[in-house]
Structure 1
Amino acid sequence: MTDPLPDFCTLSQTGPLAPVTSLDGVLGDYMAHYGLDHCLPHARTVHCGMIDATAWQLWAQVWCPPGPRGTVFIVHGYFDHLGLYAHILEALLKAHWQVVLWDLPGHGLSSGERASITAFDDYVECLHQVRSHVDRQRLAPTPWVGLGQSTGSAILATDALADTPTPWQSLCLLAPLVRPRGWQQTRWIHWALSPFVSSLKRTFRPNSTDAAFARFLRQDDPLQATALSVAWVSAMKVWIRDIRQRPSICLPALILQGEQDLTVDWRWNLPLLREKFPEARVVRHTRARHHLVNESPEIREPLFNALLDFIDAPLTPAERDITL
């Protein structure tokens, strides 16, 4: 008999975002379970708690290193939550970047229907709420860098391509979602099923060469959703049409993409992203799959090095396309 998964749901009743004074109890167990405790030696203070985003209560964390040189806002991918981002969090803290992380609505410890949304604009509005909240609390020294994994990249791209002036110094888009792999077939299945079902059973496919991580998602993560929301697919369908119509922006951007990615249609996505972000640099890895922040160390480390070099000097001329 396998041991029951830990229950972290009581953390969703945590008060507003505030400095952590003790890691006893459920919060300490949560940090240890997701490896976030390995990041503690690199942080001067850690803030945890909920941010009121009107329609949702969002679980958020702010990690503050000594002498921060700016702030990186991490936006996670579909089915993810901030607990899965310890590797990139540690790398950023070691480089003295302040880091803001939060769970999307319906993900992790945030409120909302599990893994569902009615419009991607709701995600963008939550990003605005998080950004405004930490800015008011003086927890986000500038410059600001946006870092997104998959759907998180879609959220950041939508925000950056809005008509208003962007607050971002640069964007880092990891395995960015525009169109998912097999979209031509998927949209017809969606059209046929959407009037009759609200969700489909999720299939856990290895999205990283790190077998331990794939096993953790499948067996040991109590915050993983087990169903794909049809409403989420409907929202994505509208978003794909919307993003193609938006004007481009001259903003430094780094795109990291694995060539073994079976989640997004990266060969179709990259030309569109180059059109929207003409200053983008593209770094491809021949062996990387989709979940780049949790790839095996020999793949993850050169990708992280490219990312850290970029956010240190986003305006430095460099070769556009690099393959690792």
Structure 2
Amino acid sequence: MTDFTPLEAMEGMTLVKPTEPSDDTLLAGYLRHYRLGVLLKDETTLHVGNIEAMPYRLWTQVWTPPQPRGTAIIVHGYYDHLGLYRHLLELLLEENLQVVMWDLPGHGLSSGERADIEDFAEYGQCLRQLQQRLTDEGLANGPWLGLGQSTGASILATDTLSHGDDDHWLGLVLLAPLVRPWNWTRSAWVHSIVGPFVSSVPRRFRPNSNDTDFTTFLREQDPLQPLRLPTGWVTAMRRWMPQLMELPSSQLPTLIIQGDNDLTVDGPWNLTVLEGKFPNATIHRHPEARHHLVNEIEPIRRELFEQVRQFINLLLVTAAVDARSQPICSNSRASQR
């Protein structure tokens, strides 16, 4: 398999033009391997490179269609990287949204110990730093629509609940969100026994989607997949779980989607918790979907993405109406003075 890690040395953000089949650069090969390059069409632009979010360098892509209606940021799941989110990227571009994607620390082409983190708070700090730097460089602007898969959903939920309703987020889409993993009682017991003596264990590639082509790709054709599970990451997750439970609720519009065949996170228990944290949430469950919802088989993905599409459009229409009414209110107040 091709080694894409030299791309970690790219400085800053570079504007990428549509690649020709003969383009043999490593970046072009990366875009082809993850089938991202085909989305560079209809005047859509792509900036790609590394953003400093101390102490990490984050591999980042900013996709911008003509006259975007808003800005969405995708936060991927554990073991993942942004190259696996082509389907969701395509959906958002179809809805004429600017899309920011990035690799979490220790994942994909971002810096950091592979698949590890000292504290879950670092994820949230990277998220806010990344958004601020993109804003400062004129590459993206809020308010932001956040879409997260699994651990990415937990990062977005924690950020929202930690900052209150600060108008930073227009809304959230939480896909198979992590609050606690599936079969957590047994896993926590094993971690308590083994964790102090072992720094990592081999990763087991369980089928996390009904799409066998996708699960085969993860196991056999993706050079950016971590092969070990650091026990330090599990320790950080165990510290984060009660912290999330203590955070106050948020009124932010939220869509939560969960598959009933998910054997990665404890879906029913997690939904109960998140219903309390996001009382305005719309919850959609699918009886056949597994965990990796953005890479489910096409019939399931089409149904789930339609839920996402409807939710996003309602948010954007509401935001547009609010934006149009704001100057009118201001002018009316001015004329009365």
1:148-178 deviations in Å (ceiling 9; x for gaps): 0000000000100014524001000000000
Aligned partner of residue 208 in structure 2, secondary structure = coil
Does 2:186 match 1:185? yes
Is residue 143–residue 167 contact of structure 2 (8 Å, CA) maintained in 1? Answer: no
Residue correspondences, number = 313
Q: Residues 42 and 101 of structure 1: is their aligned pair in 2 closer, same or farther, counting only changes over 3 Å?
A: farther
Unaligned runs of 5+ in 2: 319-337
- Quote the Cα distance in structure 2 between the aligned partners of 1:43 and 1:132: 26
Larger deviation: 200-209 or 159-168?
159-168
CA drift of 1:45 comes to: 0.9
What do the CA deviations read for 1:222-250 (whole angstroms, capped 9, x no partner)? 00000011010001001111000000010
1:101-116 equivalence runs, <5 A: 101-116=101-116
Matched AA of 1:16:
G
Aligned partners of 2:43 and 2:115: how far apart in 1? 30
Q: Which amino acid aligns with 2:245?
A: R
Give the structure with the larger helix fraction: 2
Contact 2:82–2:102 under 8 Å retained in 1: yes
Structure 2 equivalent of residue 52 of structure 1: 52
* Worse-matched range after superposition: 305-314 or 264-273: 305-314
CA contact (8 A) 1:251 1:277 kept: yes
Please say if residues 38 and 90 of structure 1, whose CA atoms lie closer than 8 Å, have aligned partners that are also in contact. no
Provide TM-score, normalisation by structure 2: 0.90
Equivalent position amino acid for 1:105 in 2: P
Q: Does 142-151 or 161-170 show the bigger shift?
A: 161-170
Counterpart of 2:3 in structure 1 is: 7
Query: Superposed, which structure 2 residues align to 1:74-153 within 5 Å?
Result: 74-153=74-153
- The ranges of structure 1 where at least 4 consecutive aligned residues each deviate by more than 4 angstroms after the TM superposition are none
Distance 1:283 1:43 in 2: 34
Deviation at 1:140, TM superposition (A): 2.0
Conserved 8 A contact 1:43-1:93: no
Correspondences of 1:249-264 after superposition (within 5 Å): 249-264=250-265
Contact in 1 for aligned 2:203/2:229 (Cα 8 Å): yes
| Post-superposition CA distance 1:186-232 (Å, at most 9, x none) | 11111111110010100001100000000000000000000011010
**Residue of structure 2 in register with 1:320 after alignment:** none
Q: 1:38 to 1:22 in 2, by over 3 A?
A: closer
Deviation at 1:18, TM superposition (A): 2.7
Matched, 1:16 2:17: no
User: CA deviation digits over 1:11-58, x for unaligned, max 9?
Assistant: 111111232247440111101101112211255210000001111111
Root-mean-square deviation (CA, aligned residues, Å) is 1.5
In the alignment, residue 56 of structure 1 is paired with which amino acid? Y
1:167 alignment partner in structure 2: 168
What SS does structure 2 have at the residue aligned with 1:260? Answer: coil
Alignment match, 1:242? 243
Equivalent position amino acid for 1:246 in 2: L
The one-letter amino acid paired with 1:8 is F
Q: Quick one: structure 1 residues 37 and 315, their matched pair in 2 at CA, closer, same or farther if it must change by over 3 Å?
A: closer
Is structure 2 residue 209 aligned with structure 1 residue 200? no
In structure 1, distance between residues paired with 2:12 and 2:281: 37
User: Following TM superposition, by how much is the alpha carbon of 1:72 offset from its aligned partner in structure 2, in angstroms?
Assistant: 0.5
Aligned partners of 2:96 and 2:43: how far apart in 1?
Answer: 9
Letter in 1 for 2:182: R
Distance 2:115 2:99 in 1: 24
Change (3 A) 1:67 1:108: same
Greater displacement, 279-288 / 17-26: 17-26
Q: CA deviation at 1:255?
A: 0.3
Q: Secondary structure at the match of 2:41?
A: helix
Distance in structure 1 (CA, Å) of the matches to 2:287 and 2:114: 33
TM-score by length of 1: 0.94
CA distance in 1, matches of 2:141, 2:31: 25
Separation in 2 of the partners of 1:235 and 1:243? 12
Using the TM superposition, give the Cα deviation of residue 137 of structure 1 relative to its aligned residue in structure 2, in angstroms: 1.9
Instruction: State the identity %.
Output: 51
Answer whether contact 2:18 2:37 (CA < 8 A) is retained. no
Could you tell me whether the CA contact under 8 Å between 1:252 and 1:315 is conserved in 2?
A: no
What is the distance in 1 between the residues matched to 2:11 and 2:317? 42
**Aligned residue number for residue 39 of structure 1:** 39
Which residue type is aligned with residue 14 of structure 1? M
- The DSSP-based 3-state class of the residue aligned with 1:313 is helix
Per-residue deviation at 1:95? 1.0
CA contact (8 A) 1:117 1:231 kept: yes
CA contact (8 A) 2:293 2:301 kept: yes
Q: Is the 8 A contact 1:74 1:102 kept in 2?
A: yes
- Per-residue displacement from partner, 1:120-161 (whole Å, max 9, x unpaired)? 000000001111011112222444100000000000001000
